[in-house]
Amino acid sequence: MTLGFYPGCSLKGSSREYAESVVAVAKAFDIEIKEINDWNCCGATAAHNLNRELSLALPARILSLAEKQGLNEIVVPCAACYSRLTVTKFELAKDPELRKKIVAANGLEYSGTAEVLNIIQMLNKYVTTKLEGRVVKPFDHKVACYYGCLLVRPHAILKFDREEDPQLMDELMLKAGATPVDWAFKTECCGAGLSVSRTSSVGRLSGKIIRDAVDRGAEAMIVACPMCHSNLDMRRGAINSFLGEKISIPVLYVTQVIGLAVGLNFKTLGLQRHFVNVTV
């Protein structure tokens, strides 16, 4: 069982622990992770605000490279990368003229056959069913599953979970031994890229998210996006000053929780790298 792997920039830098935990969990379930050779930036938010064709050509190149390497399925753990790759597939399938143009620009063949999976879809497809027998250390905590904005939207294109009230991560956490809380901010905005330019806005937006999670008794927040993670974790200072209170709820990647549940090592999963300490 081999899966293509597109890490994107975050997983090579500020979210190394996400990449580490994805690889570790995959290995634990006998999935070979094969990074796409010579991959490039997905374009993220910058490209599609500047130039539509560029914003499609960048992800199309990644998909072409995957096809070239014979990778039929690619796991894309970053929600922003996942969104760009999926939207590109959708747009190119819809418009043959545009597709011709993009293929010419990249100089690479593109058939649109590579399946793009976000981390939840990947776990759901290859890990969930096997999880039950493998849990050695149930993650016995109340958790707030935070999906963020890009993982489930736009619904017309992604269609992978219940719109506005997604459930799949909650179900996954249940299987890992955790108790998901019912809360209201599953898909609210964390402030995203304002992290750098207007940190106080991130403090406010992420603050509301953390507030509700804590008020509903969550002991940990679970995320599947490096941007969400950095805002909820790295920007905890701004959050705490907005809330006027020191809140120490840790933020874990969904793969880190699964890893812990199946008995993987704390450091293998990169849990020591968070700003808000994780104590297990």
Q: Which residues bind other proteins (CB under 8 A)?
A: 154-156, 162-165, 182-185, 188, 212, 215
Considering the complex, what minimum distance in angstroms separates the CB of residue 166 from other proteins?
9
Beta-sheet strand order (sheet of 251-253): 179-180, 142-146, 220-223, 251-253
Q: Considering the complex, state which of residue 75 and residue 143 has its C-beta at the smaller distance from other proteins.
A: 143
**Alpha helix locations (H) across 137-250?**
155-158, 168-175, 194-197, 199-215, 226-229, 236-243
C-beta atoms surrounding 163 within 10 Å = 14
Q: Considering the complex, state which of residue 171 and residue 188 has its C-beta at the smaller distance from other proteins.
A: 188
Q: Considering the complex, state which of residue 23 and residue 87 has its C-beta at the smaller distance from other proteins.
A: 87
Considering the complex, what minimum distance in angstroms separates the CB of residue 92 from other proteins?
22
Considering the complex, what minimum distance in angstroms separates the CB of residue 40 from other proteins?
31
Cα separation, 182 vs 196, in Å, equals 31
What does DSSP assign to residue 3?
E
Considering the complex, what minimum distance in angstroms separates the CB of residue 214 from other proteins?
12
Considering the complex, what minimum distance in angstroms separates the CB of residue 36 from other proteins?
32
Q: Considering the complex, state which of residue 114 and residue 143 has its C-beta at the smaller distance from other proteins.
A: 143
Tokens of 126: 């290859």
CB contact at 8 A, 8 and 81: yes
What does DSSP assign to residue 157?
H
Cα separation, 143 vs 156, in Å, equals 28
Q: Considering the complex, state which of residue 38 and residue 164 has its C-beta at the smaller distance from other proteins.
A: 164
